[in-house]
Amino acid sequence: MENATSQTKTQAAMPFDIGGIKFAAVRATQPRPHWRVRLEETGEVFEPGTGGISNESVPKMKADIQYLLDRISKGDTSDFRRRFGLPPTPASESTCVECGATDADMVGCPDGAEICRDCFGAGRH
């Protein structure tokens, strides 16, 4: 993986979101035109073909990333984020669905909701 400005000239990016992760398809023009995926949270631009992600078209790229979420991570967004080297949930999105508190120490529920330790201890979800 490399910085988008090194060795490859890039043009405009097309942002998209899969599994709560913000990506962008970046059009590279060198050595030949192709697409590269950028992880918006870190700015990391992946080498073409990383993880089996297509660099031929944006729809194929999105389909490959969706496949990783559905089939490899089995729909588990925390696992999906970890596979991209990200924390299980972004700090800005760690909000208790029961009381609205923001806390870094959240508990994940089987239905995908996140609640704070206080609500978990009180059996609120």
51-65, 77-91, 102-116: which is most confident: 51-65
DSSP code, position 8: S
Predicted confidence at residue 91, as pLDDT, reads 53
Predicted confidence at residue 54, as pLDDT, reads 92
Between residues 91 and 96, the one the model is more confident about = 96
Predicted confidence at residue 92, as pLDDT, reads 52
pLDDT digits (tens, 9 = 90+) for 14-38: 999 998 899 999 998 888 889 999 9
Predicted confidence at residue 103, as pLDDT, reads 64
* Total structural domains within the chain: 2
Whether residue 50 sits in one domain with residue 16: yes
Q: Taking a C-beta distance cutoff of 8 angstroms, is the pair 98, 119 a contact?
A: yes
Using DSSP's 3-state secondary structure scheme, residue 100 falls into coil
Determine the structural domain holding residue 35 and report its residue range: 10-83
- Residues 98 and 120: their CA atoms lie apart, in Å, by 9
pTM: 0.62
Predicted confidence at residue 120, as pLDDT, reads 86
Q: Is the pLDDT of residue 2 over 60?
A: no
b/e for 90-123, b at 16 or more Cβ within 10 A? eeeebbbbbeeeebeebeeeeeeebbbeebbeee
Whether residue 77 sits in one domain with residue 23: yes
Q: Is the pLDDT of residue 116 over 80?
A: yes
Q: Is the pLDDT of residue 57 over 60?
A: yes
Predicted confidence at residue 25, as pLDDT, reads 95
Whether residue 76 sits in one domain with residue 106: no
Q: Is the pLDDT of residue 90 over 80?
A: no
Residue 42 falls within a domain, yes or no? yes
Residue 2 falls within a domain, yes or no? no
Residue 65 falls within a domain, yes or no? yes
